[in-house]
Structure 1
C-alpha cells in the first residue's frame, strides 16, 4: 500500500532496538515519509529462535510495507491446521489457516525468524533507513528528546521509539525503576527435525508431505508443529514447569529424553519425530511483563512498542503480530497530516488504539494457554465438544481480520475531525 501524499512535516525518528518490532516500525514510518535511524547494541543482527507463525493481521501489514513478496520467498503457506488431543485424535480443523474467508486477502504463513528479519531488512534500503549496529543507548532525554550512546555521541530527534524487547532498558528508564520480565513458570522445548529421512512409511509422513500447523493439547501444556525452510519441522512444547525451575534467557541445549519425559503418553507420532536422526532439542524460560499503565512519556515525544510495551506468551502466536500492529498504527497515523506540535497527540492516539487491543490479546492468550493445558476430565471434554462445533472461529475472526493501519488512520481522522 502507498499512502497518499499530503503536505506535512517530515520528522526525525530514532528507534532503540533492531529486532522485528524496531524494523517494522522503521519501515512503517519511513514509508510514511519520515527519516528513521535505528540503534542496535549488538554488532550483528540475529534473531534468537527458529520458527514463527504470521497470521493475517501480521501479513496484512507486511503487504502495506511492500515486503510480503520478499517474505514469501522464505515462508511456507500451510494448507491445513489441526487441534488434536494429546493422544493424536483430531478435534477440529483449526487454526483455520486455509479458510479463504479469513486468509484470502492476507495469508497465514510460517517462517524461520532469521528469514523474516532478512525480509524486513530488504525494505530498509529503498526507504533510506539508517541502522547503527554496535550502538548501545546509555541514556534517554525524554524531553528534548535525545539519546546518548555509550561512546558519548548524542542524537536528537522529533520522537523516539523504545523497541528493545521484553528485557527493555527503555521501559526501565521510562518507569524510573527496574522492571524486568517475569516467568509464570512456563518453559519451551523446541526440537528442530530435519525431514530428509522422513519417508512414506514414517508415522510423520503427513507432517512432511504438506505444510500444516498442528496442535496437540494435554495436561500441563501443548505441542505445535509446522514446517520451516521447507525441510525442517519445528516442534515446540510449551509446558508448565513451575516457578522453581532454572531461569534460562534464550535457547540452551536440552536432552531429547527430557522432552520425551514430558509427553510420555502422548501421540506416537511425536515420539517418532524425536527419533529422527539429526533432531536437536533446545529449552528456555518463557517471560511476560506486567501490563503498563502508560506506554508514553509525559513529554509526548517517546513511546514503547512491541515486546517492550506488551510482551506476552506465545500461545496465540501473536508476539510478532502485535508488534506489527503497533507499527501499522504508527505508520498510518504519521502518514496523515501531523504537525510537529501534534506529535504528543499522535502518540496518545496511538496508545489509545493499541493498548486496549494488546491487553485483550494478552488475556485471550492466557485463556488459550489454560484451555490447551486441561487435564482429562469434564472441562477437557467440554473443550473438545466446543472445538468440534467450531466455537473457536469467532476468536480467529476477531484476531485475524483486524487491520492496524486502517485503525490508526481512522483514529487520527476522528481525533482531528477530518474525513
Structure 2
C-alpha cells in the first residue's frame, strides 16, 4: 500500500485529537498527506480510565507500527470471568488469549491516557502538525476551512471533525444543531493504584495477575479489571439513571449511592467499591448512527463519536473510530487530491452499515445482561448462552477495514460516482 505521492499531496485538517482523531492523523500521514491536528485542550493529559481495542483495531495499529508500544502498557489478562451478582461463576471466556490464533492479533486493554499518549507520539513522528489550545469558532464547508477565535482561517483540501459526541463539526455536515439524548443509563467508573487493596483477602485475589472480571444482575452490570500485573485496577458499574444531561454528563461519583445499588452482591465486588478512589458518574449520552457523515460540499466529514457514539457495552467504540480513520485515509489516497468528495462519500458508503450494526450491539448486550433476573428475587430466570463467549461483539474482531477498502474500492467508488453525480 503506497502513498499518494508528494506531487498531489492532500492537505488534511483534523479537529479533535482524541483516539479517533490521532488515529486518522497517523493513517493520513502514512499515506503521504499533510496533516494538521487541532484540539481545544491546552494540554493532552492522561485522563480517563480503561479502554479496550478488539483485534480489528489491533490489526490496524500493527499495520501502522503502533501496536508494540501499545502492547507494552496493556493488560496480559487471558480470560474474562463472568459471575452472577452473588459471586457464582457463570463462565470463563478465553477470547483474550485465543485472539492471536483466531484473528492474528491480540486485543488491547489498558489505560486510555497511556494509549492516547502513544498515538499522539506516533502522529508527531509521522510529521503531523499538532496544535493544542485551538477552539474552533466555525466551519466553512465549501472551501473547506475552519476559523479560530483570533480570526485566523485555516484552509485545506478536506476537514475531518473527530471532536466527540458534542461535536461542533456536526453542524457543518448536517446544517443544524443535533443535540445528543440521554440513554437512560450512566456508568460509575474509577481507575487507580491497586495498593489500597494490599492485604485485603476479598480483592487481593484479583491482583495476582491481570484479570477481567464481569458481574451481571438485574438492571446492573459491572467490571473489575487489573493491568500491569495487578498494579492498577479499574472498576465500572452500569446502572439506570434519569439525570438531565443538559447539565453535562460527568460528575463526582457518590460511593454511598453505589453501595446501595449493589447491597448483597458478591463481597469482593462490593469491597472494590468501598475502597477505590476517584469515582466518577458518567452519564451515557447517545444518538442513533447518523445517516449523513459528509457535508453537501463533499469536503467535510465526521468521524467516531461525532457520527456514532457507542455505549460501553459494545466494547467497540474506540475500535470503530480507529476503523473510521483507516477507511477515510485510504479512501482519500485512492481518490486523490482532486476527488475529495468521491473519497468522503465512499468512506461513508464503506462504513455506515457496518458501524450501525456494531453500534446496536451496545444496546442489545446491555439489555441481555440486565434482564436475565427477576427484579424482586434477583433469581436468574433466563438462560444465558456463553458458548461463543460473553460478548456479542466478537464477530467484529475479524474485520480488516483497510482490506475492505482495497478489495471494494472499484465497485464502491463507481456506485458513489453514480449516486452523487461525481466525475
The answer as to whether partners of 1:78 and 1:109 remain within 8 angstroms in 2 is no
Q: Which residue of 1 aligns with 2:418?
A: none
Q: Which residue of 1 aligns with 2:308?
A: 310
Q: Which residue of 2 aligns with 1:93?
A: 92
- Matched position secondary structure for 2:123: coil
Partners of 1:193 and 1:152 lie apart in 2 by 42
Q: Tell me which moved more, 294-303 or 93-102.
A: 93-102
The answer as to whether partners of 1:19 and 1:47 remain within 8 angstroms in 2 is no
Partners of 1:369 and 1:281 lie apart in 2 by 21
The answer as to whether partners of 1:21 and 1:163 remain within 8 angstroms in 2 is yes
Q: Which residue of 1 aligns with 2:319?
A: 321
Matched positions, count: 409
Once the two structures are superposed, residues 266-312 of structure 1 have per-residue CA deviations (whole angstroms, 9 ceiling, x without a partner) of 11111222344x63322121111233221001211111001001012
Closer, same or farther in 2 for the Cα pair 1:258/1:245, shift >3 Å?
farther
Closer, same or farther in 2 for the Cα pair 1:40/1:394, shift >3 Å?
closer
Normalized against structure 2, the TM-score is what? 0.90
Q: Which residue of 2 aligns with 1:67?
A: 66
Matched, 1:169 2:168: yes
Partners of 1:265 and 1:216 lie apart in 2 by 13
Partners of 1:284 and 1:333 lie apart in 2 by 35
Q: Which residue of 1 aligns with 2:284?
A: 286
Partners of 1:245 and 1:6 lie apart in 2 by 47
- Matched position secondary structure for 2:116: helix
Partners of 1:52 and 1:393 lie apart in 2 by 17
The answer as to whether partners of 2:103 and 2:398 remain within 8 angstroms in 1 is no
Once the two structures are superposed, residues 310-346 of structure 1 have per-residue CA deviations (whole angstroms, 9 ceiling, x without a partner) of 012111211111100101112232343x233322111
Once the two structures are superposed, residues 117-175 of structure 1 have per-residue CA deviations (whole angstroms, 9 ceiling, x without a partner) of 11001112221100111111112111111111111111111111011100011112322
Aligned-pair distance for 1:16? 0.9
Q: Which residue of 2 aligns with 1:268?
A: 267
Alignment of 1:347-366 (within 5 A): 347-366=344-363
- Which protein has the bigger helix share? 2
Q: Tell me which moved more, 76-85 or 317-326.
A: 76-85
Aligned-pair distance for 1:394? 9.0
Closer, same or farther in 2 for the Cα pair 1:311/1:226, shift >3 Å?
same
Partners of 2:228 and 2:250 lie apart in 1 by 19
Q: Tell me which moved more, 46-55 or 158-167.
A: 46-55
Alignment of 1:118-137 (within 5 A): 118-137=117-136
Closer, same or farther in 2 for the Cα pair 1:247/1:87, shift >3 Å?
farther
The answer as to whether partners of 2:361 and 2:393 remain within 8 angstroms in 1 is no
- Matched position secondary structure for 1:82: strand
Aligned-pair distance for 1:374? 1.4
RMSD of aligned residue pairs (Cα, Å): 2.4
Structure 1: segments with no counterpart, 5+ residues: none
The answer as to whether partners of 1:56 and 1:103 remain within 8 angstroms in 2 is no
- Matched position secondary structure for 1:98: helix
Normalized against structure 1, the TM-score is what? 0.90
Partners of 1:79 and 1:339 lie apart in 2 by 43
Closer, same or farther in 2 for the Cα pair 1:193/1:136, shift >3 Å?
closer
Structure 2: segments with no counterpart, 5+ residues: 415-423
Which of 388, 400, 404 in structure 2 is aligned with 1:403?
A: 400
- Matched position secondary structure for 2:313: coil
Aligned-pair distance for 1:196? 2.3
Alignment of 1:161-240 (within 5 A): 161-192=160-191, 194-199=193-198, 202-228=201-227, 230=229, 231-240=231-240
- Matched position secondary structure for 2:45: coil
Once the two structures are superposed, residues 90-131 of structure 1 have per-residue CA deviations (whole angstroms, 9 ceiling, x without a partner) of 222237211246666211221111101110011122211001
Closer, same or farther in 2 for the Cα pair 1:361/1:104, shift >3 Å?
closer
Aligned-pair distance for 1:407? 1.4
The answer as to whether partners of 1:75 and 1:228 remain within 8 angstroms in 2 is yes
Aligned-pair distance for 1:247? 6.2
Q: Which residue of 2 aligns with 1:25?
A: 24
Closer, same or farther in 2 for the Cα pair 1:350/1:104, shift >3 Å?
closer
